Amino acid sequence: MEPGAVSLIGEVVRWFADPTHWEGPHGIPVRILEHVELSGLAIVIAVLIAGPIALYLGHTGRGGFIAVNVANIGRALPSFALLGVGLLIAIALGLGLGFWPTMFMLVPLAIPPIVTNTFVAVREVDRDVVEAARGMGLAEGQILRSIEIPLGLPLILAGIRTAAVNVVATATLGAVAAGGALGRFIVDGFALREHDQVLAGALLVALLAVVTEVSFAALERATVPPGMAAIR
Amino acid sequence: MTPGEPLVRWEWIGSHMDEISFRLWEHFELTTIAIVVGLVIAFALSYIALRLPRLYPPITGVTGMLYTIPSLALFAFLVPYTGFSILTAEIGLVSYTLLILIRNIVGGIRGVPAEVRDAALGMGYTPRQILWRVELPLALAVIFAGIRVATITTIGLVTVTALIGEGGLGYFILFGIQLFFSTPLLVGAVGSVLFAVVVDGALVLVQRSLTPWSRVQ
């Protein structure tokens, strides 16, 4: 059966209009919250792991080859394979289905763009400025904190944005490993052949990805140091 | 996984070699179709973008938008229209190759030094000859870099198409997840990564043989 486009749009609208889809533990608000929670935590963990390493490498100028190539390795990591391996690890550690297998997939996906961008961001800070700060007697930690990070912040955030959009998109797959979040609508819709539910889920995920992208872009603009904004 | 179940049952792999090679072939097929069709479309759009530079931003804008749509969501959008089919899988897979390919084709050709182009013009090359004999060969390294990234990404994405009834080696990942059976899961996961590594290596060799002059550097 090939439903016409018009009737399908109507079905999706009706699906969204159905108040029962907005209530309870399987409702849209809960699924969105689960999706945001999952993605947010994955990004926080990835930043905590990738940030210090990349800042150290960037500040010392060591390991540039590794930092840049991590991005290429990241692209080669198939998310679905990571989910499968994540499931094995989660079960072996007794962490159960759903949440943790998804987390084990998302964190490795989020790390590479954060490492690469943070490294480049710190490296690209004008060396003369860093030398001047050193000459003024700033300690290495102070240089990192008050010079390199603030000046590199827009680029660092751009890396986190790439990671975040990717994570929000990929978190959808978690539903395959019995996870919650918005992927539930798509995976359940596939299983039940309910096209309206599938499309509604896809729409919500795409929307959330766009919202993530737009909010990070705004954040990047807001964090450009005033001095640099003038130059640009 | 059930207690006492080994991580890998080698005898399962041994007795499923036929299916594994079938799925590997399917993976290869899905990837190749996506890259070839992606290249044809990307070359056409790049040609337009190079001829009419004003159209380059909208072309990268639209393909960039396609690239940001989550893969599962994109397949989900298509399923009501094209069903659980290879067509659905390929529309999705091709969409994801376009941005990378177009950027590298246009970037590669624009990166050809103007003096080289002028020299060819001075030697009496027609614009078509310049494109085929000067610009494309010189841009080949950059174009190939794009093909490699697109191919690796596609090989990973093919596994996701298991959810719409295709999947290549991804079929084993889905099968393993659904049955809590680690052996096929690892066959699919490790297999698809190894496949990507092998294909990438092969592409490097092809690129070297196509651009012998770059070996000198």
Q: Which two tokens stand for residue B58?
A: 């909208």
CA distance B156 to chain A (A): 4
Q: What is the mean pLDDT of chain A?
A: 86
- Nearest chain B residue (CA) to A98: B177
The answer, yes or no, to whether residue B89 has pLDDT greater than 50, is: yes
**pLDDT level of residue A1 (50, 70, 90 thresholds):** very low
B44-64 pLDDT tens trace: 999 999 999 999 999 998 998
**pLDDT level of residue B8 (50, 70, 90 thresholds):** confident
Angle ∠(B196,B197,B201) on CA atoms, nearest 5: 115
Residue type, B204: V
Share of residues in chain B with pLDDT > 90 (%): 55
Mutate which of A39, A75, A80, A213 to test chain B, going by most B C-beta atoms within 10 A? Answer: A80
Cα(A31)–Cα(A186) distance, integer angstroms: 12
Interface of B with A in 164-183 (CB under 8 A): 164, 170, 173-174, 176-177, 180, 182
* pLDDT score, position B12: 86
| Closest CB from A176, A202, A213 relative to B73 | A202
Count Cβ atoms below 10 Å from residue A69 Cβ, excluding itself. Answer: 14
Cα(A67)–Cα(A69) distance, integer angstroms: 6
> For the domain with range B10-212, which CATH number is right: 3.40.50.450, 1.10.3720.10, 3.40.50.720, 3.30.830.10?
1.10.3720.10
Domains for chain A: give ranges and CATH numbers: 29-223 (1.10.3720.10)
3-state secondary structure A95-160: CCCCHHHHHHHHHHHHHHHHHHHHHHHHHCCCHHHHHHHHHCCCCHHHHHHHHHHHHHHHHHHHHH
Q: What is the mean pLDDT of chain B?
A: 89
The answer, yes or no, to whether residue B217 has pLDDT greater than 60, is: no
Location of structure tokens 């380059």: B56
3-state secondary structure chain B: CCCCCCCCCHHHHHHCHHHHHHHHHHHHHHHHHHHHHHHHHHHHHHHHHHHCHHHHHHHHHHHHHHHHCCHHHHHHHHHHHHCCCHHHHHHHHHHHHHHHHHHHHHHHHHCCCHHHHHHHHHCCCCHHHHHHHHHHHHHHHHHHHHHHHHHHHHHHHHHHHHHHCCCCCHHHHHHHHHHCCHHHHHHHHHHHHHHHHHHHHHHHHHHHHHCHHHHHC
B200-215 pLDDT tens trace: 999 989 988 888 877 6
A44-64 pLDDT tens trace: 999 999 999 999 988 888 877
Cα(A133)–Cα(A142) distance, integer angstroms: 9
Mean pLDDT of B72-94: 89
A157 to A108, A226, B67, B90, B135: CA distances (angstroms): 18, 16, 20, 33, 36
Residue pair B185/B13 in contact by the 8 Å Cβ criterion: no
Count Cβ atoms below 10 Å from residue A118 Cβ, excluding itself. Answer: 29
Cα(A33)–Cα(B171) distance, integer angstroms: 30
Interface of B with A in 58-117 (CB under 8 A): 68-74, 76-77, 79-81, 83
Nearest CA-CA partner of A171 in A35, A27, A29, A30: A35
Nearest CA-CA partner of A168 in B72, B98, B94: B72
B26-50 pLDDT tens trace: 999 999 999 999 999 999 999 999 9
Q: Where are the domains of chain B?
A: 10-212
A68-109 pLDDT tens trace: 777 767 766 788 999 999 998 998 888 888 899 999 999 999
Helix, strand, coil share of chain A (percent; to 5): 85, 0, 15
The answer, yes or no, to whether residue A127 has pLDDT greater than 70, is: yes
Mean pLDDT of B87-97: 93
Residues of A with CB under 8 A from a CB of B: 2-3, 5, 8, 72, 75-85, 87-88, 91-92, 165, 168-170, 172-173, 176-177, 183, 186-187, 189-190, 195, 198-199, 201-203, 205-206, 209-210, 213
Decide if A76 and B156 are in contact by the 8 Å CB cutoff.
Answer: yes
- Nearest chain B residue (CA) to A213: B68
* A7 or A119, which is more confident: A119
- Nearest chain A residue (CA) to B160: A80
Which residues from B are below 8 Å from A173, CB to CB?
72, 160
Give the rounded distance of the alpha carbon of B204 from its chain centre.
Answer: 14
* pLDDT score, position B188: 93
* pLDDT score, position B151: 94
Q: Which two tokens stand for residue B18?
A: 């036929």
The ipTM of this complex is: 0.82
**pLDDT level of residue B1 (50, 70, 90 thresholds):** low
A13-33 pLDDT tens trace: 888 888 888 888 888 999 999
